[in-house]
Each structure stands twice: as structure tokens, then as C-alpha cells.
Chain A
Amino acid sequence: MSINFYGLQRMVTQTHEMQISLSDGTRVDHVLEAVQERFPKLPLQRKDLLITVNDKVSTVDQMLKERDKVSLLPHIGGG
């Protein structure tokens, strides 16, 4: 599965996405831990983030499948 990076995240990661190999029972929060370990400077406070899996809002305990795309988005309220 892959994590997509947006905006400032990309400035920190210097890449659009990160691939992660899944093992049985991998959940979203496991992926968040892996991302944080790889990019310690990336701000990933969970309550500040909207987590989507395949563009649908998700929770940290959602189980992931191969080919899933996880995004960590800010809340957007509109100007």
C-alpha cells in the first residue's frame, strides 16, 4: 500500500508517496508509526488530521489491504 503526501508534508518528505509492505493485521495507526519513524519532522498529530483510505474517511484502527492508498489531510473549512 502507499501513503500520499501533500503540501507541506511533501516539503518534508521530498517525495509524493511512500510504499509500505503489509503484514497481516496492519492497521492505519501502524502505518502512521512507520511514517513518523521514517520522517520524524513530519507533523502527524492524529486529531489534526483527516485520514482517508482510497479517498474515504477512515479511522486509525482500519485494517489495510494491498493497493490501498492512505492520505493524511488537514481539515479544510473553506474560505
Chain B
Amino acid sequence: MHIHNSIPYEPAITRGGYTDRVLHVDLSTSEIDIWEMPPDHKDKYVGGRGYALALMWEKTGAETRHDSPENLVVMASGPLCGDPRFPGSGKFIVGTISPLTNTFIDSNIGGHFGPLLKRCGFDALAVSGLSPDGEKVLHIDGDRGTIRIIDAPVFGEGIDAGGLTYGESLLKALNDDELNEHSAVVTTGKGAENARFGIVNSLFFDRRRNRLRAKQAGRGGTGTVMRRKGLKAVVVQTRQAATRANQPVDAKKVKEAGAQLKKVLSRMDPTQLQLGSWGTTILVEYMNKFHILPVRNYQSGQDPEAEKLFADIFLKEYFSRKIPDGCFSGCNLACAKGAEDVTLTRGPWAGEKVGIDGPEYETIGAVTAMGIFDPQFVMEYNWYCDEYGLDTISTGVTMAFLMECWQRGYLTKTDTGYDLSWGNVMSADRLLHETANGTGLGAICGEGVARTREWVAKRHSDRTGAPREDVQNELKSFAMEVKGLEFSMYSTKESLAQQGGYGFALKGPQHDEAWLIFIDQVHKELPTFEMKAEALKWFPLIRTWFNAVGLCKLPWIDVRHPDAASTANPAQNTPTLKYYVNYLNATTGSKKTLQDVLDDSERLYHLQKMINLRQGKGTRISDQIPLRAMGPVFINEYEERSEYYDEWLKEQTGQKLLPASVEERLKMLIELRKDAYQKLCDSVYLAKGYTTDGVPLPETLERFGLLDDRAAELLSEYGLGWVDDRRLSN
């Protein structure tokens, strides 16, 4: 095993949730250095995504792309990560400049890696550079006190190509053929090399199942950047006790806050969503009921065949029962469901029995987007995407887009090489493997929806003579991406608030900033633009705070506290949030209120917005969503849900009689929906302290201590800020 560099180090002792150290590795030079963070750094940037944002703002520039040497892959937990006395504390984020969006993306991920990295003495790992001489593995050994960059070991062609199989072989190779809870690894697979939406797998040993399990940082191509850098895996290991992970200021109060949350979870989850029993698969049934499932590229929100993919099926046919399924110890929500000994029937591993972690709702949703309702295909799609290192969401949405292009005649067999009809399992399977290998149509698919749309437009235009720009515009109406990122798996045709939840999401249309469908569409709690705007400000702040501190948000957002019903805004579930604030204060010694937490998060939100602005994704035009996210594009979509659309049109127009033709009604609906979204933009920008073009006002940045020279210069490009003590316009 060739060692490129190795340094000895003394793991820092964590105090109050922080080690105040960031490990930096430059793969261009194999340099390893440890950055001591100044005392006020954590006050301003909190941790996790905040640390990643600060590094990106400082060390990358407008010209930085995903494969630039200065681009960083940051893996960072946060002050509350790693304490099993509080549920859901195993999270960390992977942040980078995305190959899909060309701006910052962060994706959160569970497992043991984040907690072990901290126990090895680091709040974050930042990897820059591009390996000049092959793939590397970074090995952080807190027990021996060494950090090494080594040539990636070779285990054989099949294994070396896989994120899951390679991770297992690597851990065994570094641990005398043993798997244990004291080491963890992040990996990705060959799909991440060939597609822009590569994921990072977080592999950890589950003693009860006696196998490695995997969680994923799925969105935005973090794994692709890892592979571009030549970083094949990162291993962390230490035997330091988990209970000493954070050294909280007040351990008794940590325990108390954790016990209070655990009590709510154990009492309320069994009467609510039952995530502990079903995982997020339970959502399929509810999304189907309310026309939110993204069936056939988000055309239909519901399908009679969807019941083949309800949670009952996975529980009965696949999930291992009676095994606690937390992705980190101490979490009694335990929603990370999995299956053992599933025999693969397709692909290069056909005939093999594998353990499968999932499926999550999003993966099932992605399969319905292809018009497929086959649970075995869901399981295999899930496993192969993890093994190849592909995002199940972006893969599914891009494949679904290609299928619709085929169905609507934009593509022919000459273009694709094979039939791409809705529900064609054989074709979907073929396209999945081609995407991983970067061959055939898969080489296009791996580019993601935005770039695939351009390819389709060119092919169609060349074949038919139709103006390419016209074709592009037609395709844009059902190409489900914003800012270059594919939509996650919720149809928003009936929720204006969630249209905004996707459109304004800084990373692109992922629901972790705002998931407002139920309170908007079902509860009808956000009837005005102002109320929607307020929710679109509040929820992103609290939801993304979890990514800054190293926590999972599901125990807060998906299990409602019994006292929430009597609060002013039950959906905010503030009685549970009090436990989180108490946990924060007990760990770090701060005396923060919920409002302080929101303010901390708002600082990070605006910083991310500034990075977007710098990268050309920060103005109103970048927040625009495809027509299909607003409503039906084609007649068949209107007709499938005509009762709802007719009623909506009558409400909006006050007309008792609507135009006779469906075409006219569709046209009317589209205009009204487009107009509503623009009004929402105005309301949201006002609520957030931005111009009508979506650019942060100088005073907004100043309030959060973000108006440094770089920010002022950037704002001046938009006619904002101060020059020579003179306030520029707005």
C-alpha cells in the first residue's frame, strides 16, 4: 500500500460540542494540515452547513466549477452531532459546488461517520485539489493518531466499481478483516464518475444485522465531485466512547432534553405516521391519496396501481422486522428500514443476495415517475443506485423526462436505441446501468434533466426542422428541474406554497428547506400570499438549522408533540423545538432562545444566497419553476383532475360558467397559475429582505454581519450597496 503522506496528530478534545478544528487535505499536493478555528467562528457559522458555506465563500470564486481544484468537498457535523442521549444526532452534511447547479449544494446524511469524525478530533473535513496520480483513500485513525493519504486499494473489478462493496472491502482491509462500530467509511461508486448526480454513501456497521448499512448524501452530485478529485473513500476510526463525544457543558440537561424528546417519539409516533414501523415508505399511500405522487414525470398525482408500492408491501415482503433501525444509536424513531437477503434478478449482480437499505419514499416516488409500480424493481433500483453511487431522485427524474420525451414524440428509437414507454421495466433497468457506465443513452441521462433537455431539443430540431428554441421552450414546461437540480418527489400542482418551497430553495428543488404541501393544500392554513411568504421564510430557517448542528429533523417535523395542537401554529411543533433549544444550550453553554436559533440560521441562509448570486443562480430568474410544477401542461393532465381544476377556476374567477372547451380552460388556468407564482415571488422577496429581483438588500446582510468587502462588491453589480459613503439605489 503506497502512502502519499502521513502525519501524526493528537485528537482534539471536544468541549461543548466543538473541537474547533477542521482537517484540510489537498489532493493535488497530498498536503494535510489542521486548521484551528478562531473562537468566534462557531458563533457566526454554527457548524455543519454553516462551516461549509463559510469555506466556500472564502476559498472559491465565481469561476469555480465542480471539477476546479479549489472546489472543496466539505464533510461537517455540528455541535449537537454525536450524542446518543438525544435522538437523531448522527447527521453530518456534505457540501460542495455542484456539477448540476454550479453553485453550493449540501446534502445531509446519517450513519456513524460524522460522530466518529468528531471523536477523531474534527468538526469538519475539507478536501481540495485534484489527485494527479490515481484514486486515493484518506484514512483518519484517532486511536493511532495518524492521518494518511494512501493509494486506493484494489479488490477486483466488480468491487472497485461499487460504493457499497468497495466500502466493505476497504474497512475489512484496514481492520484485520473485521467490521465494527468504531470505524466508518464514506464512498461512492463508478456511477458518480459517469453522472453528474453522484452520491456519497455513509457506511456503518449495524451489530444487530451483522452487516454494513448505508445512508446517502443524495442530492446535487457530491459524490461526483469526490470522484473528480480522485477521492475514492474516507475512513474514520476511533474507540473513544460515544458518551464523551461532545463533552457538553451540562450533561444532566442534555440527558433531560433527550429523555423528553424520546418520550414524545415513543408515545406519539405509534399513533401518527409510525415511521418506526414503516419508515418513510408510509408516505406513498398518503401522497397518492392527495394527488402528490409524481407519477409519470409528475403528470398524475395518483394512480390505481400505486397500492402495489404501499408500505404494507415492503413491510410484508422485504423489511426485516423486530430490529431497531436507527442510523445512529440513541434514536428511538428508528426509521431507517432495511431488508436482508434480497436476491437481485437484474444487472451485473443478478443472482446475488444483498442487504438493501431502504427504500425511502423518495426512491419509490422516483420509480413511479417512470410509471413503474413493481416493488422488486424498486428494491433493485435502490440497491444499484447506492452501489453505483447515483442519486435515486435525479436518476429517476431524468429517466422519467426521457420517457416522456419518447412518449410525446420528441425522441424516436433512432435517438434512444430502445423503447422508453412508461412502465417499461426492462428499458428502465437498461437505462439505469447505462447511466452508471456512461454508455449509450445513459451518457446523456447522467447529465441530468437540464442538459438532457438541450440534447433532446437538438435531436428533435435536427430531425423535424422545428426551431430549436421553440422545442426547448416546449420541453422546459415538463423538464422537472430548477437551478439545474431535479425536483424531489412531490407534485406541487395543487399547492402554491410548495411551488415556492421548491422554487426558492437555494440548492434547487429539494424539499428539505420547505415542505408546505399539507398545511397549504390539505389544511388550507396559508390562504394569503403573505401567509405563504411567512411560511416560506420561517420553515427554511428552522429546517436548515438541523443541517448546521448535526441533527436529523424528522423527530421534530414528523412526530407532532401532544401540546402542539394548542399552540398558535401547530405545524411549527414548537413544544418539541424547545427540547432542541434546551439541548443546544446544555451542550454549548449558550443561552439561546428559539428566535436566536432562527437568527443564526438566517445568517447562513443569506450567506448561501450570496454564493448563489456570485455563481449566477441568485436572482428571480433562477427561482422560476417549470409549468408542470404549477399545473397541467397538457390536456390529459387537466382532464384527469378536471373536477378540481374546474372548481379552482370558478373560485379564482368568480365565474359560474367556464369556457366550454378544455383547451380554453387549460389556457386560463395556466395564465392564472403563472400570475400567482409571480405574486408569490414578490411577497417572498419582501419577507426575506430582498429586492424584487431576489437580491439581498445591503441592510439585510448588514444585520447579520455579512456585508464584507466581497459581498459589497457583489451587490454593487446589482446597483446595491454603498460606494464612497453614497447609498446606491434600490
Question: Taking beta carbons and an 8 Å cutoff, which residues of A are in contact with B?
Answer: 6-8, 10-11, 43, 45, 47-48, 50, 52, 55, 57, 71, 73-79
- For the complex of A and B, the 8 pairs showing the least CB-CB separation, nearest first, are A78-B515, A77-B557, A43-B271, A74-B272, A47-B565, A75-B560, A74-B273, A8-B274
Do residues B285 and A48 form an inter-chain contact, with CB atoms below 8 A? no
CA distance A59 to B270 in the complex (A): 23
Given A8-B274, A48-B562, A75-B273, 18 more pairs with CB closer than 8 A:
A8-B277, A8-B278, A47-B562, A48-B268, A48-B272, A74-B273, A75-B571, A76-B286, A76-B558, A77-B518, A77-B556, A78-B515, A78-B557, A78-B558, A79-B360, A79-B511, A79-B512, A79-B554
CA distance A76 to B290 in the complex (A): 12
Do residues B560 and A77 form an inter-chain contact, with CB atoms below 8 A? yes
Do residues A73 and B286 form an inter-chain contact, with CB atoms below 8 A? yes
The residue on B at minimum CB distance from A9 is B274
CB of B280 closer than 8 Å to a CB of A: yes
Within the complex, the shortest CB–CB distance from B516 to chain A, in Å, comes to 8
With a cutoff of 8 Å between Cβ atoms, the chain A residues found around residue B273 in the complex are 7, 74-76
The count of chain B contact residues (Cβ–Cβ below 8 Å) is 40
With a cutoff of 8 Å between Cβ atoms, the chain B residues found around residue A78 in the complex are 490, 511, 515-518, 557-558
Q: Known interface pairs A48-B268, A79-B554. Does A57 touch B560 (Cβ–Cβ under 8 Å)?
A: no
The residue on A at minimum CB distance from B281 is A7
With a cutoff of 8 Å between Cβ atoms, the chain B residues found around residue A75 in the complex are 272-273, 518, 560, 570-571
13 residue pairs from A and B, CB less than 8 Å apart: A6-B286, A7-B285, A8-B277, A10-B312, A48-B268, A55-B522, A57-B522, A73-B286, A76-B558, A78-B557, A78-B558, A79-B360, A79-B512
Within the complex, the shortest CB–CB distance from B45 to chain A, in Å, comes to 25
Do residues B271 and A45 form an inter-chain contact, with CB atoms below 8 A? yes
For chain B residues 502-555, which have a beta carbon within 8 Å of chain A? Answer: 511-512, 515-518, 522-524, 554
Within the complex, the shortest CB–CB distance from A23 to chain B, in Å, comes to 28
CB of B579 closer than 8 Å to a CB of A: no
Majority secondary structure, A binding face: mixed
CB of B372 closer than 8 Å to a CB of A: no
Q: Known interface pairs A7-B278, A47-B562, A48-B271. Does A79 touch B290 (Cβ–Cβ under 8 Å)?
A: no
Do residues B511 and A6 form an inter-chain contact, with CB atoms below 8 A? no
CA distance A18 to B272 in the complex (A): 20
CA distance A4 to B323 in the complex (A): 30
Do residues A79 and B558 form an inter-chain contact, with CB atoms below 8 A? yes
Within the complex, the shortest CB–CB distance from B338 to chain A, in Å, comes to 17
CA distance A78 to B311 in the complex (A): 16
With a cutoff of 8 Å between Cβ atoms, the chain A residues found around residue B274 in the complex are 7-8, 74
CA distance A47 to B286 in the complex (A): 19
The residue on A at minimum CB distance from B268 is A48
With a cutoff of 8 Å between Cβ atoms, the chain A residues found around residue B557 in the complex are 77-79
The residue on A at minimum CB distance from B287 is A76
Name A79's contact: one of B515, B516, B565 (CB within 8 Å).
B515
The residue on B at minimum CB distance from A52 is B522
Within the complex, the shortest CB–CB distance from A50 to chain B, in Å, comes to 7
With a cutoff of 8 Å between Cβ atoms, the chain B residues found around residue A43 in the complex are 270-271
CA distance A74 to B285 in the complex (A): 12
CA distance A62 to B362 in the complex (A): 35
Do residues A77 and B522 form an inter-chain contact, with CB atoms below 8 A? no
Do residues A11 and B271 form an inter-chain contact, with CB atoms below 8 A? no
With a cutoff of 8 Å between Cβ atoms, the chain A residues found around residue B570 in the complex are 75
With a cutoff of 8 Å between Cβ atoms, the chain B residues found around residue A10 in the complex are 312
The residue on A at minimum CB distance from B518 is A76
CB of B298 closer than 8 Å to a CB of A: no
CB of B395 closer than 8 Å to a CB of A: no
Do residues B311 and A7 form an inter-chain contact, with CB atoms below 8 A? yes
Do residues A77 and B571 form an inter-chain contact, with CB atoms below 8 A? yes
CA distance A43 to B268 in the complex (A): 10
Do residues B286 and A79 form an inter-chain contact, with CB atoms below 8 A? no
CA distance A55 to B289 in the complex (A): 9
Name B312's contact: one of A11, A47, A74 (CB within 8 Å).
A11
With a cutoff of 8 Å between Cβ atoms, the chain B residues found around residue A73 in the complex are 286
CB of B420 closer than 8 Å to a CB of A: no
With a cutoff of 8 Å between Cβ atoms, the chain B residues found around residue A55 in the complex are 289-290, 522
CB of B361 closer than 8 Å to a CB of A: yes
CA distance A50 to B273 in the complex (A): 12
CA distance A73 to B282 in the complex (A): 12
With a cutoff of 8 Å between Cβ atoms, the chain A residues found around residue B511 in the complex are 78-79
The residue on A at minimum CB distance from B273 is A74
The residue on B at minimum CB distance from A45 is B271
Within the complex, the shortest CB–CB distance from B380 to chain A, in Å, comes to 23
CB of B283 closer than 8 Å to a CB of A: yes
Within the complex, the shortest CB–CB distance from A9 to chain B, in Å, comes to 10
Within the complex, the shortest CB–CB distance from A14 to chain B, in Å, comes to 11
CA distance A55 to B291 in the complex (A): 11
Do residues B278 and A77 form an inter-chain contact, with CB atoms below 8 A? no
With a cutoff of 8 Å between Cβ atoms, the chain A residues found around residue B361 in the complex are 79
With a cutoff of 8 Å between Cβ atoms, the chain A residues found around residue B516 in the complex are 78
Do residues A6 and B268 form an inter-chain contact, with CB atoms below 8 A? no
CB of B491 closer than 8 Å to a CB of A: no
With a cutoff of 8 Å between Cβ atoms, the chain B residues found around residue A50 in the complex are 522-523
Within the complex, the shortest CB–CB distance from A7 to chain B, in Å, comes to 5
